[in-house]
Amino acid sequence: MNCPLCGNEGNLCESHVVPEFLFKPAYDTSHRLKFFNRGSSGSRIFQKGFHSKLLCLSCEKILNEKYEQPMAKIWNRVIPDKPPSNIFLCQDIDFNLLKLFHLSILWRASVCKHENYSHVSLGNFHEIQIKNLILEGNPVPANKYPIFGEIITIRGTGKAMKGFVTSFIPKRVNGHRCYPFFYGGCLWQTFVSSHTISSIDEKFIGFTNKLQFKVKNLKDNHLLANTMTEVVRQDLMV
């Protein structure tokens, strides 16, 4: 089969869509995690995060060394375990690396065959555009595939909700398609559009040399609060 990143024919690896280090807080003491599917009854147990036969060994190594390993080392600086209330200001990191890391996850979700990401479809044009950005690693303007995040904390502890990973059905915002993903304690939203998105500010990656996050309690984010209510309901069925 052909690798969707380099185009070469060969054996494909079992590649993670969301990198494994972002699943680690979700594991129990037996290195297991629970998967909940909205609308189903109960949960399923997995030994590691979702993966799919996706990339050749060479491209798997490129994404791992170029994006995943560097981000794993600094993730607690991007999203601290216990952020301040209301606003957190992230600075002194490579924001282009952060943006390309997120785009690599979105791209993998779009090109993979895993059922959990069947709702993520960038289309051929944007898949090619983002693939080239990932391979080249050059600076990406803030208004090109704009990304912003909202840190979600656990009620009572104030800790970032790092033990939860999911993606949501894409939505349209001001005529642009938006893909929400939750991982690493933050709800990340990426806008994908063929038109210029001009209404961006300091909460978007790369707008300035600082990145502003809103910090919200889980109960104040309706999208996640409703999802977690469903998770609790399913867990009681097990």
What pLDDT sits at residue 230?
58
- Tell me if 86 sits within 8 A of 216, measured CB to CB: no
What pLDDT sits at residue 174?
85
In the chain, what are the domain boundaries? Answer: 14-235
Q: Higher-confidence residue: 135 or 39? A: 135
d(CA 164, CA 152): 10
| Per-position DSSP letters for 123-160, written without gaps between them | HHHHHHHHHHHHHH-----TTSS-EEEEEEE-TTT--B
Task: Note the pTM of the prediction, 2 decimals.
Answer: 0.88
What does pLDDT average to over the chain?
86
110 CB neighbour count, 10 Å cutoff: 20
Quick one: how far is CA 130 from the chain centroid?
Answer: 15
Taking only the tens place, the pLDDT of each residue in 169-182 is 899 988 899 999 99
| Per-position DSSP letters for 164-229, written without gaps between them | --EE---EEETTEEEEEEEETTEEEEEEE-SS------TTBTTSSSEEEEEEEEGGG-HHHHHHHH
d(CA 194, CA 196): 7
Residue 42 scores a pLDDT above 70? no
Taking only the tens place, the pLDDT of each residue in 118-175 is 899 999 999 999 999 999 999 999 999 999 999 999 888 999 999 888 888 899 988 8
Residue 40 scores a pLDDT above 80? no
